[in-house]
Structure 1
Amino acid sequence: MNHIDEMALFRLGVLGPLTSRGELARGELARLIRQIAQQEYAIPGSQRRHISEKTLRAWYDLWRRDGITGLASKPRTDRGASKLSEAVQDAVLAAKRENPRRSIRQIRLLLEGAGVVPRDSLSKSAVHRLLKIHGLSRISGPCVVPDEKRSFVAEHAGSIWYGDVLHGPTLLLGGKRRKCYLVSLMDDASRLIAHSAFCLSETALDIEGVLKQALMRRGLPGRLVVDNGSAYRSATLQGICARLSIRLIYCRPYQPASKGKIERWHRTLRSQFLAELDTTHVRDLGDLNARLWAWIDQIYNRSKHSALGEHTPLSRYQQDLPRIRLLGPLAAQLDELFWHRVKRLVRRDGTVSYEGTRFEVPYELTGQHVSLVVDPHSGTVMHVENEAGQAIGAATRLDALANSTRRRQRPGSDAASAHVSTGPNLIELAHQQHYPHTEQ
């Protein structure tokens, strides 16, 4: 039996709704291709999850013309060849061999300066391909030392946690198609998932919400290793970790191996949870997370892990319970540690706004800048603080209807008449000078 190309089988499976039909009615081809393009696929040799309508139409035309052989992947005919002239090739290779530390940019500048090639005519990719063919593409030399990468494991549970976000599936939630993001925190020594949750975004607030639940369930980690993304670099997350004595560590950009353990967790979740998920039972985000948490607690954390010998993540974590930092007295203040502070200018009517809602603060703060203290996870406004962080009043939701009958404080006539001048008064002095004969 002739070997069938793996890519051809994959493409034929994608085109199944088209190839399984006979003649297509007018407009049906475009409609089916549009539906196929909206699905997610595990594309061999690629990190992408979607296939464009243009590509699907090209595959379909190839299948109609040549059958499954037309869908096979075809190697490049120019692989291993260079489009540069022999003279330019020799000059590029000579420049690299003369100084292996030269970058492509330096080689191009050198050849332009020597008059070998016109300015801006030498393609960077062409030089790179030529060097790669001859095994010279890497910058080498005595001053270039490759990063040392070694496998390691934390000595005990709670020493190191990893945090990361996985782009999850697009599901029909509440009648709308929404993309989900999985925010997870994993313990290094035990591979235990401290907490994980699907969210509708990957903001700092989502990450803080998962961290808060993880702290309540699994105690305080010594170090938290996270991505270098903007969500993890938020001032609020940094402040929370600082107040809890958690050392926040950022991975170097484009170094996925530094979080290899949690990347492996993502693969497990895709193959064991997402592959088995019956979305017909998922009505909203709560349903999705309820199934995730049940699977983590009952299956993942209680299954033997190849890196832990005979232990499960849960049993390995429990082995180190005496070493784990518990919240202790901080548990009562945990909500406060996750509060946000937002700067606001108090309007003339004594109100400030937050998330489209107006709140009344003490009227004497009118015209001042204050910090509105809010619980972002519940959307509750707590109180108002000054620049020193001291509470200076409550913040209550504006009730404009009640204010229509509210008695306002006005300067009283008695208070005005009670004023007695104890020093020179410009008005009285001017009056005396203008009317010198008026009786006092």
Structure 2
Amino acid sequence: MSHATHANAALTPRARLRLARLIVEHGWPPARAAERYDVSWKTARKWAERYRAEGPAGMSDRSSAPHRQPNRTPAPVVRKIVHLRWKQRLGPVEIGDRLAMPSSTVHAVLVRCRINRLTHIDRATGEPIRRYEHERPGDLLHVDVKKLGKVPDGGGWRYVGRQQGEKNRAATPGKPRNKYRGPLIGTCYLHTVIDDHSRVAYVEAHDDETKETATQVLRNAVAWFAERGVIVQRVLSDNGSCYKSHLWRDTCAELGITPKKTRPYRPQTNGKIERFHRTLAEGWAFKKFYNSESARLAALPGWVHEYNHHRPHSAIGKRSPISRLDNLAGHHN
């Protein structure tokens, strides 16, 4: 039994036990036992009752934290705070201003999620980079979905300006309308898979992120890696609904893969795929003008090939990701 106790305690756990036994086992009145140990009779009675209920184990200190915390920041708000911090590097004051809440509350959430210091999430600060990677290709795959607004016919607002971009959206044929009668161009869901050791990437573009699509992408990716001599052991995903499904669990079991989940509100856990998404956006999605969604998608396979086979990756000694599969058969297929 631990004998540690808080600074202002009148009794050590050992003295509490002796006091409680005097009352419970030897029949002393609580007032007399309290006088013997120079504490109030309420204190003596409390330890006697705790001893009856829990025995010697009940003599140590309990946490003073409340059982429930009704004022704790709701999970959806925590997600918004983490998103603004991770994606835009905003501080507590700016985040608090955007979400109309006290900066002290924002700071408390950032501390709890361990992203209160930019050095924890940003290598541009000069801090030493703490990297962890699995030893062999296939030991761990990271999976996630990157959402991008589709490009309207004629080009998006980033290149043609807001006004022309809206006109192009309105002119794109065959699209459903939102409640304001504006066209819904839709969302492109990029299902991305990264090998932790080599950083080799596999990407498929879809119109949804359902469990059926996610599991089919996993099957395709496992087969694609197998052709390159890589046997997949584990897969790491966030807590998105498609990855929490029974179908995902059963598919992993069928493929002989152990599914793992990231900790909620900790984007660092899946940092490699977060970084890949940034590279994907800068190097392909918004790199140049595309006059339609089909034109942008047509450029995706070429960009992924360039990324895997030719682009030097700073995290692996400026080598191309595919070069880390050099010891495996058939990697240039």
Q: TM-score if structure 2 supplies the norm length?
A: 0.50
Bigger share in strand = 1
Larger Rg: 1
Q: TM-score if structure 1 supplies the norm length?
A: 0.38
**Quick one: higher RCO (CA 8 Å, sep 6+), 1 or 2?**
2
